Structure 1
Amino acid sequence: MRRGGGELETEVADRAAPVVLESADKLPDDGTLVVVSHGGTIRTTIGRLLGLEPRTWEALGGLSNCCWSVLGEGARGWRLLEHNAGSLPEPVLGDDD
């Protein structure tokens, strides 16, 4: 379903997943790829990489600000190792309380 006239989730995944796969293929052994994007793009790309049906992508949930997901590639394909991980840092208190 188009939200606000934008792309379908499957269209976003069609555009983003190949870029991630191409970039991952260029990594050295034990390399790390960091992908930064909007939460919806990350969710749909994860769903596509995991081979999930698009109707189930919502089950992954969104990403909170400043959080991340970790995927690993194994012999049987991609695995979701962490999702919506991380926490915001403690607030920094100034000297002028």
Structure 2
Amino acid sequence: MRRGGGELETEVADRAAPFVLRHVENLPEDGTLVVVSHGGTIRTTIGRLLGLEAHNWESLGGLSNCCWSVLGEGARGWRLLEHNAGTLPEPVLGDDD
């Protein structure tokens, strides 16, 4: 269903997933691609990369502000390694600390 005249989730995934895959192809071996976008776009793109049916994308849950997800590509395709993670492994200290 179109919300407010915007794109369908499947249209977002049709646009975003190929963009991610194109950039992944250009990564050096063991490279990392960082994609920054709205949570809904990230969720639909993850769902598409994982091969989930569109009606199952909601099961991934939302992505909170300033949080991230990590995907890895293996022999059998993409895997979701982390989702909606929000803490850094080590504290980040500013210059004023």
TM-score, with structure 1 as normaliser: 0.89
Aligned residue number for residue 46 of structure 1 = 46
The one-letter amino acid paired with 1:68 is W
Deviations 1:33-53 (A, max 9, x none): 000000000000000000000
The corresponding residue for 2:20 is 20
Paired with 2:34 and 2:57, the residues of 1 have a C-alpha distance of 21
Paired positions, count:
92
Ranges in structure 2 where 5+ consecutive residues have no aligned partner:
none
Sequence identity (%): 84
Moved over 6 A (4+): none
Q: Distance in 2 between matches of 1:80 and 1:3?
A: 27
Q: Which residue of 2 aligns with 1:9?
A: 9
Structure with bigger gyration radius:
1
User: What TM-score, normalized by structure 2, do the two folds share?
Assistant: 0.89
Separation (CA, whole Å) in 1 of partners of 2:34 and 2:59: 23
Task: Report the aligned-residue RMSD.
Answer: 1.8
Look up the SS of the partner of 1:83 in the other structure. Answer: strand
Q: How does 1:1-97 map to 2 (within 5 A)?
A: 1-87=1-87
SS at match of 1:47: helix
5+ residue gaps, structure 1: none
